[in-house]
Amino acid sequence: MMQMSARWVYLSALALSAVFASAQAGEAEVRAGLAKLLPDAKPDRVAESEVSGLYEVVIGPQILYMSKDGKYLVQGRILDVAGRKDLTEEKQAAARKKAVDAVGEDKMVIFAPKQYRHTVTVFTDIECGYCRKLHGEMQAYQDEGIRVRYLFFPRAGLGSGAYKEAVAVWCADDRQKAMTDAKAGKEIPMKTCDNPVVEHMEMGELIGVSGTPAMVLDDGELLPGYVPAKRLAAMFDAKKKGN
C-alpha cells in the first residue's frame, strides 16, 4: 500500500511538473510573439486564460489574447455562456481602475463634498454640452456623496480651442473656479504652464474613451455619457449590495 502511494505521489509530481513546464513554454512563446508584433509594448502580465490554448495579455488598462504559439493575436471578449458573465470586462475594469488611479490625484481637478461615499473619474471636454450639464449639477452629485475627479479629454485634439481651455483651467490660480467659469461659457485667462492634459488624453484613448463625458466608476467600470446624480448614486449602491 505504501509503495502504491509513493508511486502515485511520484507520478502526480511528474504530471504537475509537465503542466508547469508547458505553461512556462507557452508564456515564453506568447511574449516572443508579442515582442515581434508590438515591440514597444511591455506586458504587465501574461497568463493562461479561461480558454484552452489562449493566453491573456495585460498591457496597462488593455487586455488582449494571444494563441499559445504566439502566432495569433485576438482582440475581443471572453463570455462565460453558462454563467452569463463577461470575464474580460471584470478583469479590464480592475486594470482600468489601476491605470486611472496611477495618474495621481495631484494631476486631477477634484470636486468633493466634506464627506463622500463614492468617487467617479470623469473625462471631460469643456466645450461639450453634456459635460457642461454634468458640471452644472455638481451640487447634486455632492449631495449624493459622490466625489468627482476630472481628467481632460478635448475631443478636437491638440491645439484646439477646447485643448487650450483645458490648459488654461489647469494653469489657473483657482482650478475649480476656472473649471466652473469655463463650463458656464465665461472667458478665463488663457494661461499656459506645465500641465497633464496630453497625459489625460492618452489615458482616455487607452481605456477606450470615444466621447465625453465618460465616467470611470470606483470599481473601474466605464460608462459612456452623462448619468444624473441620483441614478449614478443608485448604481453605486446596487454595486455595493452586490458585493
Active-site residue set? 125, 128, 131, 155
Q: What is d(CA 103, CA 10) in angstroms, rounded to the nearest whole number?
A: 50
Q: Which residue has the cell 478635448?
A: 154
Angle of CA points 104, 62, 234, to nearest 5°: 65
Cell, residue 11: 507520478
- Residue-wise over 193-227: b if at least 16 C-beta within 10 A, else e? eebbbeebbebbeebebeebbbbbbbebbbeeebb
Angle of CA points 151, 154, 156, to nearest 5°: 165
